[in-house]
Structure 1
């Protein structure tokens, strides 16, 4: 591939090498590689189901052990709120109260979320603020028909002279209306984290944000800090990071040539949430909880979420103790054959790592399999919510392990693979706790445990022209493919994402 001097300067400025760009172009030519799912992970076969007594013991164990570790909550929060308000933007563009009744418009769209929005508008956390702003900006508001008022209110929510909510990062949209204040998702994450990650009275959180939004989050923290710290009795250390430009990926046209903008520059796109493995790799903490920005509940419902976070953390501590103990035994040498058999049984029965090969260097093999980052992932029963699923997956070397797989990674045209996919009973709510340091206290280089074959090619457009975009292996998919993994069932009540504005009307987002 021949790049001009201008191209080379642009590539170098991003911190990327020409070789990396050429490797990315080779991936486009290769195409997506489908995974080989051998079984759906189900309860008893890859997913643990914790009974009440054991759950109580795990919570107790977590509470006893957590102060011995440095702990942090990692929240991907770079997403914009624009998708949340997509149906409202369409309504604002299309609905004319002079020509149609609202009821007729809703019937024509068949959009149940939009209908729910108008049926229960007054329960939204920003309703009163929107009405107040609408009246201020429209002197004749009170004389308008109800349908015209709805149109004005929607435009007030969306537009720059109103609340401009769809221009905010999702984490700063008002989510919950309490008697004395309104809380954003950002604030609810702090309140929740104080209940399970605080060590010595300090809770550490790390938010990955869009580069232009850091100051907005910092300003929000200044506004709420006193209230949150007084309410929780906890001090907070909050960090922010951006997606590193060197994780951006080249885009190509349909002939696999580098896509160029109207200014004849190479076009790079963010590499998807999988690029955040680099942000995580920079963390210094031993234990990291991962949760998406929009998955929160109101204060009165948070204890159930906290209990299950502690249960996952207790599970991690127990498995981590066993792994570290085994590694220390192997490091000492002269390991009895019974102990080696025990370690191999642990790999097969608890981590579900299965390898049909015979290994001449058996102890080195055991060390290599144990010496990996560890994650415990909550899994929720399928109830129609979207999300990747837990599967047993065989890699190109013939090794089987537990993986979180997205639908796009599965070969739907292969009847056996499609059948296995349909047998999935659970999905991934992104409820993960990670152990990032080994038995000697050394941090793992997380980049070594990424399966680059799990990158994903998607069709996009730029300036009206078609292009192919490359997303790096997803953070909890290919980005953690070579980690050791434990799946544990958690109740659906712990999963409360806000994908559309109408999701804020669900019971989990309505304070009691």
Structure 2
């Protein structure tokens, strides 16, 4: 009923105050500070149970979208590849063809193509390209677009194929403790869990767990008139509610500290830089959380001094970038104490941010909530009223962008786990246009995992180098230096 209410009445757009910039919501560390946090993480990590959370359930459909379109639109008997590229203005296809030998799956693909097309060696070069792409995507071929990214060949190292799963395992060594396995949690689709387990079976230093997007988090879809969309058998149509549904999966974990990173953001090179920055983010989290816990313990004392309250207020506003209400100074001391407990006693996340290079995706902003408070949030374009010139300008001029590289503290100062579902802002969901059985529908997406699902967390943004961000959004990204051998 709440979702139908949102369809009918709309979801309020987020109110951007300004973009977060260096020293205005984003930390920029010098070398000495970076080393301090690396050392802090290394010397304190043994006190905590640390885990990595990797959303990995989605299929690689978009990665091969331009190749699927090619198969749908190209007629090998009538068209030439060149005429197709010109007609559909598709430079991606040209890049794919030129770089074909540099893809990690090329040997397997070539072999499979020759099995499926016995006359392959007699084909013209255009027919060969068509046969190769057909093999890459067809069910009788490699069927890559229907598989999750995690199990696809991304890199070749010393003649061996490495998948994103392998790279996540390699990276997880930085938080591994002596004589203990590194914990990694993957969200997967049930049908591919065995594939994940098979790849992970060769590692004896990993404690891997899995979960699925819970069907109870599926959302209802409606027609253009906002009435529920019904299937042929007259049943209501529910669909997965987007990555925001994974807050439930995250909420099942019991580790003290959880690193979150997308399955496709892995590199063959720059691994040292990536790990160092993970430690920096982790060190910041551990140090801040330690201080927060000290302050929360002090705030339990009704006889706390005005000086300590002022010190805590200063820490909240300047270190945690959480401006308090103007009337805070008018509050009675006891109410100030309660108010500070409420502000500090919540989950905390430290998020790496990279300089904006025009990549699509969300970014760090100062947002004004319904009560007029300023908070730091990661905001996607779909949450912003881009018809409003002022809001559009703020969004367009953001200096940084969210690579999904964060570390979370999900326990309170007494060691109890927070119920993360209590820190979601339901008003940050969004409505998207989709199709079902050829008909247009409107779909309800839950507040994004690192957007509205974490809206009420303590949030710290830290600039990290662009080299730590190497996502594979299309198959051609595998041709970039970060994913090719011998660029360390």
Per-residue Cα deviation, 1:109-141 (whole angstroms, up to 9, x for no partner): 222222211111100001111111112222221
DSSP 3-state at the match of 1:166 = helix
Does structure 1 conserve the Cα–Cα contact (< 8 Å) formed by 2:270 and 2:467? Answer: no
CA–CA distance in structure 2, aligned partners of residues 397 and 96 of structure 1: 59
Summarize the alignment of residues 164-203 of structure 1 with structure 2, pairs less than 5 Å apart: 164-198=143-177, 200-203=179-182
Q: Is the 8 A contact 2:220 2:228 kept in 1?
A: yes
Q: Distance in 2 between matches of 1:460 and 1:213?
A: 25
| Separation of aligned partners in 2, 1:167 and 1:373 | 36
Partners of 2:482 and 2:326 in 1: CA distance: 46
Aligned equivalent of 1:244, options 210, 214, 231: 214
**1:297-324, Cα deviation, whole Å (9 max, x unpaired):** 01x4311100000010001111111111
Match of 2:309 among 340, 349, 359: 340
Matching residue of 2:225: 255
Counterpart in the other structure of 2:300? 331
Query: Could you tell me which of 255, 261, 284 is aligned with 1:291?
Result: 261
Q: CA deviation at 1:263?
A: 0.5
Is residue 11 of structure 2 the alignment partner of residue 42 of structure 1?
no
Report how many aligned residue pairs link the two structures: 481
Aligned partners of 1:357 and 1:457: how far apart in 2?
37
Q: Provide, for residues 180-200 of structure 1, a one-character-per-residue CA deviation record: whole Å limited to 9, x for no partner.
A: 310111111111112334564
**Unaligned residue ranges in structure 1 (runs of 5+):** 1-21, 230-234
Q: Which residue of structure 2 aligns with residue 433 of structure 1?
A: 407
Work out whether residues 270 and 468 of structure 2, in 8 Å CA contact, stay in contact via their aligned partners in 1.
no
Among residues 358, 368, 374, which one is paired with 1:384 in the alignment? 358
2:351 matches 1:351: no
> What TM-score, normalized to structure 2?
0.96
- The match for 2:117 is 138
What CA distance in whole angstroms lies between the structure 2 residues aligned with 1:219 and 1:497? Answer: 24
Determine the C-alpha separation between the residues in 2 that align with 1:416 and 1:137: 56
SS of 1:251 mapped into structure 2: strand
Calculate the TM-score normalised by the size of structure 1: 0.91
CA contact (8 A) 2:50 2:175 kept: no
Q: 2:139 and 2:425 mapped to 1: Cα distance? A: 43
Q: Secondary structure at the match of 2:154?
A: strand
Report if the CA contact (8 A) 1:388-1:405 is conserved: yes
Residue 375 (str. 1) matches residue 349 (str. 2):
yes
Find out whether 1:471 has 2:471 as its counterpart.
Answer: no
> Aligned pair 1:306/2:275, yes or no?
yes
Distance 2:227 2:237 in 1: 11
Q: Which moved more, 1:52-61 or 1:196-205?
A: 196-205
Q: Deviations over 1:395-445 (max 9, x none)?
A: 001111110000111111222212222221000000000000011100001
Give the stretch that moved more between structures: 93-102 or 138-147.
93-102
User: C-alpha root-mean-square deviation of aligned residues, in Å?
Assistant: 1.4
Question: Shift in Å at residue 460 of structure 1?
Answer: 1.8
Change in CA separation of 1:287 and 1:133 when aligned onto 2, cut-off 3 Å: same
Alpha carbons 1:59, 1:311 under 8 Å: kept? yes
1:210-231 deviations in whole A, cap 9, x for unaligned? 1222122122323xx1xx45xx
Whole-angstrom CA distance in 2 between matches of 1:333 and 1:199: 42
